[in-house]
Amino acid sequence: MIPAFVLLGKWLEQKATVKTGDAIASILNRTPKWAMVMRDGVATELPVELIKVGDKVRVRAGETIPVDGVVTKGSSTVDEKLISGEPIPVEKEIGSIVYAGTINGTGAFTMEAQSVGSETVLGNIIETIRKAETEKPPIRRIADKIASIFVPVVGLLSLLTFLLWYFFGGDGDADAVSFAIRCAVSVLVISCPCALGLATPTALTVLIGETAKRHILIRKAATMELLPHITTVFLDKTGTITAGMPEVVSEKWHISTEEQPFYQSVLYTLERESTHPLADAICRFLADTHKEEHSFTSINTVVGKGIEAELEGKKYRIGNASFVGTTLSTSSGTDVYMTCEDSLIVHLTIEDRVTEESREAITDMQKMGLKVVLLTGDNELSAQYAASVSGIQEYHAGLLPSEKLSIVQSAIDRGEKVAMIGDGINDSEALSYAHVSASFASGSDIAISVADLTFLKHDLRLFPKTIQMMEQGLKTIRLNFFWALIYNALAIPIAAGVLFPIWGIFITPALSGAAMAFSSLSVVSNSLLLKKRLHGK
């Protein structure tokens, strides 16, 4: 009966535990097993494992892309929801980057493999999840320590139970010896530390899988315990609370409406030739306007100031206020002016907008009682505006990377539990020093490498969501510990026969096996309920 109950319990436990890995399994299944590889000009179906960097791979309509690479022929749309979280398919043409695990639309294309196997973006995600699953956070090490003490203690309790019943439970006859042995065995069987051992890993597996589904990668297991205790969150500005893509937010023309199309085309032509970082923003802004082609007599770029050019005998200038000779602006963004023969034509203001998602995330963090501080290398006016728009009370502007680090260090020295979120190289020092650090997958490589959390989707709301999920996960683990410990505290004395002299209640070794199996199953089932508790978070 004992082996039967134990095996039944293990079977039920294994069946329940398998469900905790569903999220990881679904990610693994996104990579196809076979692909059409061009070898010697002939398309050959080969296992994905045999694809090498530089191979040409043919991707047909509706197929899953097997490796990371660049499109060399054809065009299509690709569903990249697995990687970016965005539901809208992305247009792909020659030169576009495509990722393993994403799904091709109705077109067909040929791509050149650039990353294969575990080197792909999807491969890195899977390896990160596996590492987080196997790494032991402090709470799991506590469980191991408890178990290491628990086993010898139970052995001693079993021996003590036998001795007490043998010497004080009868006259030493055969029945007394048999009863003492049965009680000692019942103590050993019912107190199996399986429930303690399962309390943490089952809940962690569910938690890691559920966060992965929500485009949150946990790179360090200890983060799961640290996050709920965070008191202060430091945020970088550019690319963290802003979109990371400057755009024209206002335009003021100083000419008639009829003249605007001509000057728009002049502005577009000159900015298209410019290498300045803000030129793309202006071109995107003018993309839908009429674009007449112009042949300039000369075009000269003045580094740090702007562009000057000549067209049909007239001199044009595009750049900052001092370069074009106009009044300096005090706007929160970057001002770009265009003049013709020293007459002001248009004034554009360019900003990197604070996203709506960031505003919501900051509000959520503040409602959770967190202190939110903005750290940026931008000027005072830009920082003040971004802080005001996003609802942040404290900000620090014009910071060097070392100064960001100094502010984070000072907060830690004051006893605050600090989180730092940033995506640039200039954030990496502060990220590495914070108790918990987070970055976006679109950030710099060094920021991602030092971050404890990586958000695959550029959405700051994932951070407060992660905190809520970690809190729920820790509650589940603590509840698992409670049930495992309370079970042993109640079951061991009963198995030892303390109720037998009073009410004649006695648990046989077979029933002890059933109770032990039930305790392990109850802990696993409670961990599986974590999925429901996380629903909607």
Q: Give the separation between CA 237 and CA 426, rounded to whole angstroms.
A: 11
Residue 350 DSSP class: E
Does residue 236 carry a catalytic annotation?
A: yes
Out of 68, 236, 427, 452, pick the active-site residue.
236
**In the structure encoding, which two tokens stand for residue 188, read together?**
């050993």
State which amino acid sits at residue 249.
V
State which amino acid sits at residue 128.
T
107 in the Ramachandran plot: left (φ > 0), alpha (ψ -120 to 50) or beta?
Answer: beta
How buried is residue 52: exposed, middle or buried, by Cβ count under 10 Å (0-12/13-18/19+)? exposed
Q: Give the separation between CA 535 and CA 36, rounded to whole angstroms.
A: 39
Q: Cα 435 to the chain's mean position, in Å?
A: 16
| Whole-number Cα distances in Å, 279 to 249, 319, 344, 426 | 14, 10, 19, 24
Q: Give the separation between CA 226 and CA 441, rounded to whole angstroms.
A: 22
Q: For residue 61, how many other CB atoms are within 10 A of its CB?
A: 11
DSSP per-residue letters across 79-108: E-HHHH---SPEEE-TT-EE-TT-EE-S-E
CB neighbours of 423 closer than 8 A, spacing ≥ 6?
236, 239, 240, 244, 439, 440, 442, 443, 444, 447
Contacts 24+ apart (CB under 8 A), 31-34: 31/64, 31/66, 31/100, 31/101, 31/122, 32/63, 32/64, 32/66
State which amino acid sits at residue 322.
S
The residues pairing with 20 across neighbouring beta strands, listed in sequence order, are none
Catalytic residue ranges = 236
